[in-house]
Amino acid sequence: MIGNGDITAPQDALRMFEETACDAVIIGRGALGNPWIFQNTAHFLKTGELLPDPTITTRMQTAKRHFDLAMKLKGAELAMLQMRKQLAWYMKGLPGAAKRRSEINSCKTAEEVLSLLT
């Protein structure tokens, strides 16, 4: 049996295992803007220790890399349109996130987007 739903932190995975006796868990929306959740959850389940959250710099570097990869795959114009929501997830909880999301949503070029991912 596979547990699914509301796995947004390593502790959620442990809770799912304990409450349902499932064999595995699926992480979906919890990975949006947080690709570290897989490594952090595996580490937590193995050791009981939570890893520190990624730094703001790491989050922005990862968002920039994600955007770069999307541009290579889909082209700059389509990547800009499709990545807006993804980039917003990377900024969740950061100081000034609402302003930065608004700025990204009004960008006309990929260069403008990249300049905001610092």
pLDDT at 118: 78
pLDDT at 18: 96
Dig out the tokens for 21 from the structure.
Answer: 């006796």
Burial classification of residue 8, based on how many CB atoms lie within 10 Å of its CB (0-12 exposed, 13-18 middle, 19 or more buried): middle
Angle between the N-to-C axes of helices 10-20 and 37-47, in degrees from 0 to 180, rounded to the nearest 10: 60
pLDDT tens, position by position, 12-66? 999 999 999 999 999 999 999 999 999 999 999 999 999 999 999 999 999 999 9
For residue 24, the cross-strand partners are: 2
Dig out the tokens for 30 from the structure.
Answer: 């919890």
**HEC assignment per residue over 68-94:** HHHHHHHCHHHHHHHHHHHHHHHHCCC
pLDDT tens, position by position, 1-12? 999 988 999 999
For each of the domains in the chain, give its residue range(s) and CATH number, in order of start.
2-47 (no CATH), 56-116 (1.10.1200)
**Dihedral angle computed from the Cα positions of residues 51, 53, 58 and 62, in that order, rounded to the nearest 10 degrees:** 90
